[in-house]
């Protein structure tokens, strides 16, 4: 179905832009007029390959995940306070300051007024994930929309906090490694060449470590372009590899199998899986449908592919814990807690408990990794600096001994 870019104005004279999916231009005009808009310009465009079907496209303006979390929690609070859905959305629309989100909510409100459900209205916007839409749909079907929104808001907040924690924890080691690298480069470019000229004037035989240091400095000064070329080729290869399905699959598999970091990746992946599946089950989504949503939401494609096979076997009546154990990518403790949840009939609660445990383990793993990484970076930098200083001082000390 073709896409139409439109530019319209409301009764207050405010300009609204977006994209509609319709069979013909006449239906676009009709939809805009039903929403209280006056069309100004409508132009057809071809749908981009791989683009998710969406009613609205806010070009050049992204909506941060934090704004989605805040919107979800505020909408849940307003619904729990007894406000109708349309009034709640209108209230949030009035207080929202980000233009992209404001345009998105205005379109959702118009869809609701046109008779669509909230899940249908949200499902036309790419900023709301399949997980989000599934939980809202389950809440609408079961009559507990405000509870479902509160759960998805809490889930999104937890995932966001975990990602922020990992990124924040890696900032200091990244700065430390960057400063150390810059220091080494400056020494090779400016300090070592000055000593090299001094050693030539002395005319004595240099120590092996000093010869190695000078050779490294020369190589860095005269052949730096080879290193840059090799780095550029490596970056291009990785980018091209990540753009192919098989390449992305291989890279994601490497993330899960790498020493230490692979263990941390599996813990984070298992925590995400458990939190997502437990939240969906608590919101009334059937197990097989919830597994499909989780499989599509997992960012690691290798794990997502493995979970798709689990869904196919689940439809045949197999136990989830047994199937996940065959996958071999999830921690053993998680699998044991999952099996207990299946046996006792409290799968959703056990999954959420396992998610909290895995998240705590992931945080502890990050702390251990940083506790090991920081002294290793400092020690490595100190050893390199000591090697440079000793290699430069040895010929000078030897010269003084000869003169003495």
Provide the pLDDT for residue 47: 39
Say if 279 falls within a structural domain. yes
Q: Which of 29-33, 151-155, 283-287 has the lowest mean pLDDT?
A: 29-33
Provide the pLDDT for residue 48: 39
Q: Map 63-116 to HEC letters.
A: CCHHHHHHHHHHHHHHHHCCCCHHHHHHHHHHHCCCHHHHHHHHHHHHHHHCCC
Length of the chain: 404
Say if 56 falls within a structural domain. no
Provide the pLDDT for residue 284: 77
Say yes or no: 119 and 182 in one domain: no
Provide the pLDDT for residue 50: 37
Q: Report the alpha-carbon distance of residue 122 to residue 106 in Å, rounded.
A: 11
The band of 13, judged by pLDDT with boundaries at 50, 70 and 90, is low
Say yes or no: 108 and 235 in one domain: no
Say yes or no: 113 and 203 in one domain: no
For residue 395, give both structure tokens.
């010929």
Provide the pLDDT for residue 402: 53
In the beta sheet, which residues pair with residue 19? Answer: 5
User: For residues 275 and 353, is the Cβ–Cβ distance under 8 A?
Assistant: no
In 3D space, the residue among 296, 303, 341, 285 whose CA is nearest the CA of residue 151 turns out to be 285
* Residues 232-251, mean pLDDT to the nearest whole number: 84
pLDDT at residue 119 greater than cutoff 80: yes
Say yes or no: 19 and 107 in one domain: no
117 CA to centre of own chain = 29
pLDDT at residue 58 greater than cutoff 60: no
Which long-range contacts (C-beta less than 8 Å, at least 24 apart) are formed by 113-117?
A: 113/35, 113/86, 114/31, 114/34, 114/35
For residue 297, give both structure tokens.
């939401």
The band of 29, judged by pLDDT with boundaries at 50, 70 and 90, is confident
Token pair 């220091």 is found at 183
* Residues 321-331, mean pLDDT to the nearest whole number: 81
The domain boundary residue, chosen from 99, 120, 154: 154
pLDDT at residue 55 greater than cutoff 50: no
Number of domains in the chain: 3
Q: What is the dihedral of CA 124, 130, 136, 138, to 10 degrees?
A: 130
Say yes or no: 326 and 380 in one domain: yes
The domain boundary residue, chosen from 122, 154, 186: 154
The domain boundary residue, chosen from 121, 154, 187: 154
Say if 160 falls within a structural domain. no
pLDDT at residue 79 greater than cutoff 60: yes
Q: Report the alpha-carbon distance of residue 298 to residue 309 in Å, rounded.
A: 14
Say if 50 falls within a structural domain. no
* Residues 210-237, mean pLDDT to the nearest whole number: 87
Provide the pLDDT for residue 295: 75
84 CA to centre of own chain = 34
Query: 3-state DSSP call for residue 233?
Result: helix
Domain that holds residue 398: 170-404
Say yes or no: 130 and 184 in one domain: no
Say if 360 falls within a structural domain. yes
Q: Domain of 107: which CATH number?
A: 1.20.81.30
pLDDT at residue 135 greater than cutoff 80: no
pLDDT at residue 45 greater than cutoff 70: no
Provide the pLDDT for residue 233: 92
Q: Report the alpha-carbon distance of residue 159 to residue 129 in Å, rounded.
A: 14
In order, the DSSP letters of 137-164 are HHHHHHT-HHHHHHHHHHHHHHHHHHHH
Say if 315 falls within a structural domain. yes
Say yes or no: 261 and 367 in one domain: yes
In the beta sheet, which residues pair with residue 42? Answer: 6
Say yes or no: 196 and 127 in one domain: no
The band of 313, judged by pLDDT with boundaries at 50, 70 and 90, is confident
- For the chain, give percent helix, strand, coil, nearest 5: 75, 5, 20
Q: Which of 57-66, 206-215, 299-308 has the lowest mean pLDDT?
A: 57-66
Say yes or no: 98 and 19 in one domain: no
Q: What is the mean pLDDT of the chain?
A: 79
Say yes or no: 204 and 234 in one domain: yes
pLDDT at residue 4 greater than cutoff 60: yes
Say if 147 falls within a structural domain. yes
In 3D space, the residue among 261, 270, 264 whose CA is nearest the CA of residue 364 turns out to be 264
The band of 57, judged by pLDDT with boundaries at 50, 70 and 90, is very low
Provide the pLDDT for residue 51: 38
Say if 61 falls within a structural domain. no
341-387 pLDDT, tens digit each: 888 888 888 888 888 888 888 778 778 887 888 888 889 888 988 88
pLDDT at residue 14 greater than cutoff 70: no
Say yes or no: 254 and 365 in one domain: yes
The band of 59, judged by pLDDT with boundaries at 50, 70 and 90, is very low
In order, the DSSP letters of 264-300 are HHHHHHHHHHHHHHHHHHHTT--HHHHHHHHHHH-S-
Provide the pLDDT for residue 110: 87
The band of 54, judged by pLDDT with boundaries at 50, 70 and 90, is very low
Say yes or no: 83 and 39 in one domain: no
Q: From the DSSP assignment, how many helices (H) and strands (E) are in the chain?
A: 18, 3
What count of other Cβ atoms lies within 10 Å of the Cβ of residue 160? 15
């Amino acid at each position: 179905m073709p896409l139409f870019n439109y530019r319209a104005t409301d009764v207050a004279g405010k300009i609204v832009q977006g994209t509609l999916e319709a069979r013909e231009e006449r239906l676009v005009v009709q939809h805009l007029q039903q929403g209280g808009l006056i069309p100004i310009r409508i132009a057809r465009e071809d749908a981009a390959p791989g683009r998710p079907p969406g009613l609205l496209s806010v070009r050049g303006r992204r909506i941060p995940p934090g704004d989605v979390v805040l919107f979800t929690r505020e909408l849940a609070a307003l619904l729990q306070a007894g406000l109708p859905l349309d009034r709640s959305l209108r209230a949030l629309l009035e207080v929202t300051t980000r233009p992209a989100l404001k345009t998105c909510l205005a379109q959702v409100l118009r869809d609701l007024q046109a008779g669509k459900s909230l899940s249908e209205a949200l499902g036309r916007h790419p900023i709301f994930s399949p997980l989000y839409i599934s939980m809202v749909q389950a809440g609408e079907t079961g009559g507990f929309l405000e509870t479902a929104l509160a759960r998805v808001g809490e889930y999104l907040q937890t995932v966001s906090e975990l990602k922020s924690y990992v990124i924040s924890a890696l900032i200091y080691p990244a700065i430390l490694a960057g400063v150390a690298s810059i220091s080494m480069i400056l020494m090779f470019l400016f300090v070592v060449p000055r000593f090299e000229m001094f050693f030539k004037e002395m005319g004595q035989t240099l120590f092996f470590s000093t010869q190695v240091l000078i050779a490294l400095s020369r190589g860095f000064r005269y052949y730096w372009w080879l290193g840059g070329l090799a780095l550029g080729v490596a970056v291009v290869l990785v980018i091209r590899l990540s753009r192919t399905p098989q390449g992305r699959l291989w890279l994601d598999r490497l993330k899960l199998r790498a020493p230490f970091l692979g263990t941390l990746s599996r813990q984070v992946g298992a925590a995400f899986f458990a939190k997502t599946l437990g939240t969906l089950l608590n919101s009334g989504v059937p197990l097989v449908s919830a597994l499909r949503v989780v499989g599509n939401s997992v960012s690691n494609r290798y794990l997502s592919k493995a979970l798709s096979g689990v869904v196919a076997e689940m439809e045949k009546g197999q136990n989830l814990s047994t199937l996940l154990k065959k996958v071999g990518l999830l921690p053993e403790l998680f699998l044991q807690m999952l099996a207990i949840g299946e046996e006792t009939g409290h799968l959703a609660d056990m999954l959420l408990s396992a998610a909290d445990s895995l998240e705590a383990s992931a945080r502890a793993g990050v702390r251990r990794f940083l506790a090991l990484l920081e002294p290793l970076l400092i020690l490595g930098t100190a050893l390199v600096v000591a090697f440079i200083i000793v290699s430069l001082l040895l010929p000078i000390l030897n010269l003084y001994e000869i003169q003495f």
